[in-house]
Structure 1
């Protein structure tokens, strides 16, 4: 199914019917409460929504999950009220929203990573929730929030703790760890449904759970049979997914009914990129799959075809918030055409594995305090290999700022010179709570002040002034998982509009739980690349394929794409909407685009700015429903 895929959730009361009437012009599908009032409205493909019924109670799973309506209905003997819905969901795999309706109450929640999100606002006197914020903005006539647009210049998707803010005024994003409860009058409260695991397991102890969870996650993708496709870059992450998806064809027993596999790899423009060598090695071990590798001249460059997105006759962008995906928009279209042309109903990608199976520098700050002897041995090894300056590193490790204090310092330093790239100057890695991102040089003082105000507010608010975990390493991993989840959500919105939904099995809740239960310091060790994932994939992925220690680098692709499309990119910012809003300086961004950049770091924020500019142009009336004529009594 091509086009928008979305749903809204309504309370089980008379006022909910009035809100449903406002949604009516968009909907093609409806699920009712036991009362007969509308519960779920929207547009979705067959099999996307599975509903279990037991008497007056309803439970719905929306998304990718191999569960049948009969199984859900049988499980509902455990449901005493909407507060018990997690008991019904125990053991379910995949990536999905979970919804319940019982005794006039409604519960709805998304996924821990944010791949599945929920938003809510007041409509016709009641709270209405939806998985797309632009649908709710259309109902209320909301405009984009310029402070949040300014934050999208900093990074997109937004970093924690700004990532639970919605870009539409008056529309609220539900935190991914919370569920939303609606009573019959449409009043809303929230409650926590997910808490990150404590990282207490050694890597050997954690491997079986990772293996089982990742196998089940991929199984939820192939369970429907037919044809699925997957990236096969040559890296461990995508390669592991391909071998899991192909187990049936490889003669290894699987719990799920297998699907035909098509793999997709695009060639880097850098002749020294060794992804091609490793991908070829994997391909030779997957004879039952079809392998697609377009020639370099058949695959669009980064930043290609962007003017088509801003053409006056172009349809609105498929995403409900800005995102850097526009850099790859031509590639996404090409991917969808190639894979749907071969019958693929779902495309798998390896995003999320880096966040789960490597350790970020902040873990050293924790490791020194927990296990000083082991930590200093590790630091000595890494410092010798990477030439970290000792004094700078010791200052990082001695930092005792709380998360709130770090947020305040980050806000105050938004325009300070960015640290030199490690590719240019060897420096010690930051072990702070997060990355001190800087506003781009083309951001106006008003934009800087807007982002500073958001960060200062977050530092002073009880919920957002707290880290995602008590220690920096686990917090950093969780923050990156959330960023990856929101990025995948946007990617799926884009490719679903072309008939090719995306799945990121590493970002499924069960995989996140299993991986983050392993001690942070043991998720990677000097001399071993992703040891937990490698051990989990033993006997599934060939041993020689798992021995890869390198990772592809794509600065050549960046420079070539920028050079070939520079004139079009400069032209996109003539009459800039962001400039009209007072957020960027047109002359400054033009100078940056026309300048010389030895590394991609110099334009690190450009993709986010580009995404915001194109998204803002696409908002021209795009949120209005096709008609406001409502049939009397229509749901």
Structure 2
């Protein structure tokens, strides 16, 4: 697993065993196999700067950020997903460490109060080994209640504290402070289009230039990334499809995507790739339950296919739906602004599209209940037995909802990148880039939404790069049936997990959970957004218990490697 971290200026003199040390005082290190393009450093007589992750900035821009009075302001316009760390020496030689977290939350940062001071890192699981290595069952229970609103200020690991996305962590002598550095701007629709395009093109370019890469090619989100990536060099486009289906759906769209530099690859799916299928390659340990835990059989096989052709970087379209196909949370904004004709039209258009009554969404919007508009189906799972309070969901506008939603999904997706690390493949999600989020949320919420056009903001920003067939697409692939079949085929091993650690600790009641699993296996309508997290959590807990422990080197001085 690739991760990085460091110590406060007056912090402990420790590094994880096997680390590559970048700075010795205070300590800064990396763990795992990092490509040089993902770790860059610059120095001056009184300052040092390190950048971790995919970023569009060149070395000259890093040099300007090194000397900038406002570090966060200097890096705000850079595309990609990354963390910036700077050490500055004050007049008396005391060091100040600044850690600028990315705006979208795709590169999580955590801290712990170790016995000799503060240690920070990009892996909560790694840091937990300094403070007992115990799962935070309060966080986990709240995650099972609502995976998009786990209890704030905690992580999946006890005594490991997350630094919120879009904030600046400042570590000094005997001090730790955080402050927000990012806030959305407002643009006219026409001004936002080039911003969306630039953020995506530069973010993709920073990842694939000069690197053997592959990408999903399925819906319009991944197809857009494929076309952009092909402009930076050769790339393999992987399209998954049922082995007994040779035309229609994503296959037709993938075959129409004939652009220079893009080579199509088919990935036939059979019973070995069904959700919940056991694999020879066990689920790797990650910081929290990975979103792809249920489909690890498919994901590991697909990434293995990419690795077999020499690809070290794989792009996904994850996050595209969250950004460009939002729930009608803009209705709350329209109601607050008393834009009643548009409010009524959009509410009825949405209801017609979903084949449901408009009354619930209208009532929720008039109450200012953005969460009720976005997820009216949400309720406490029957199997959740832990005494955990209802999630904290303060009223907010559509922009705040979108930012919070992206940050939660992006943080969770980081666990999937840790799964991919175990296979030697970098998994990248450009739609979770901070610059992309900033460009999208700059558009008024009611202009981002349409029940009559499919992903209008993405199509208007990047559609000219796609064939006409893709620009006219109004559907996306659905794999719900695969989950029902996967449960049916692997029912015994899934039921075994129901009686696992979560049940033993009283976090869940196995009886109603077992009933829900049986019903889903029979094809009953299932709220997968509630069922999948509890099954993923059990698999994850088994993986972290089975993983080798993380050890630390406590030598008082470590030489730079």
Same fold (TM over 0.5): yes
- Take 1:508 and 1:49, find their aligned partners in 2: how far apart are those partners? 17
For the Cα contact (< 8 Å) 2:145–2:384, is it kept in 1? no
For the Cα contact (< 8 Å) 1:360–1:477, is it kept in 2? no
Correspondence list, 1:315-354, <5 A: 317-354=284-321
How far did 1:335 drift? 1.7
Deviations 1:498-551 (A, max 9, x none): 111111111111111111111111113232111111111133112232110112
Correspondence list, 1:222-621, <5 A: 222-223=208-209, 225-233=210-218, 235-247=219-231, 258-268=232-242, 274-282=249-257, 285-286=258-259, 288-297=261-270, 300-305=273-278, 309=282, 317-370=284-337, 371-384=339-352, 386-389=354-357, 391-400=359-368, 430-431=372-373, 437-444=378-385, 447=386, 449-452=387-390, 455=391, 458=392, 465=394, 470-471=396-397, 473-574=398-499, 576-595=500-519, 597-599=522-524, 601-620=526-545
Counterpart selection for 2:28 from 14, 29, 39: 39
- Take 1:37 and 1:476, find their aligned partners in 2: how far apart are those partners? 38
- Take 2:547 and 2:480, find their aligned partners in 1: how far apart are those partners? 35
For the Cα contact (< 8 Å) 1:154–1:439, is it kept in 2? yes
- Take 2:515 and 2:355, find their aligned partners in 1: how far apart are those partners? 34
For the Cα contact (< 8 Å) 1:142–1:170, is it kept in 2? no
Counterpart selection for 2:48 from 58, 62, 69: 58
For the Cα contact (< 8 Å) 2:18–2:31, is it kept in 1? yes
Counterpart selection for 2:82 from 84, 93, 96: 96
Other structure's SS at 2:513 match: helix
Structure 2 equivalent of residue 410 of structure 1: none
Counterpart selection for 1:190 from 161, 178, 181: 178
- Take 2:359 and 2:556, find their aligned partners in 1: how far apart are those partners? 73
Q: Calculate the TM-score normalised by the size of structure 2.
A: 0.90
How far did 1:31 drift? 1.4
Structure 2 equivalent of residue 25 of structure 1: 17
How far did 1:384 drift? 4.7
CA root-mean-square deviation: 2.7
How far did 1:491 drift? 1.1
Q: Calculate the TM-score normalised by the size of structure 1.
A: 0.80
Q: Structure 1 residues 610, 308: CA separation in 2 closer, same or farther (over 3 Å shift)?
A: farther
Structure 2 portions without partners, runs of 5+? 90-94
- Take 1:622 and 1:277, find their aligned partners in 2: how far apart are those partners? 42
Structure 1 portions without partners, runs of 5+? 248-257, 311-316, 407-429, 460-464
- Take 1:334 and 1:88, find their aligned partners in 2: how far apart are those partners? 41
Q: Structure 1 residues 383, 145: CA separation in 2 closer, same or farther (over 3 Å shift)?
A: closer
- Take 1:345 and 1:542, find their aligned partners in 2: how far apart are those partners? 28
Instruction: Compare the two structures and name the one with the higher strand fraction.
Output: 2
Q: Structure 1 residues 153, 537: CA separation in 2 closer, same or farther (over 3 Å shift)?
A: same
- Take 1:391 and 1:631, find their aligned partners in 2: how far apart are those partners? 65
- Take 1:59 and 1:32, find their aligned partners in 2: how far apart are those partners? 10
Correspondence list, 1:130-149, <5 A: 130-149=121-140
- Take 2:269 and 2:544, find their aligned partners in 1: how far apart are those partners? 34
Other structure's SS at 2:43 match: strand
Structure 2 equivalent of residue 412 of structure 1: none
How many correspondences in the alignment? 550
For the Cα contact (< 8 Å) 1:230–1:261, is it kept in 2? yes
How far did 1:340 drift? 1.0
How far did 1:269 drift? 7.4
- Take 2:515 and 2:150, find their aligned partners in 1: how far apart are those partners? 32
How far did 1:171 drift? 1.1
- Take 2:133 and 2:352, find their aligned partners in 1: how far apart are those partners? 55
How far did 1:115 drift? 0.8
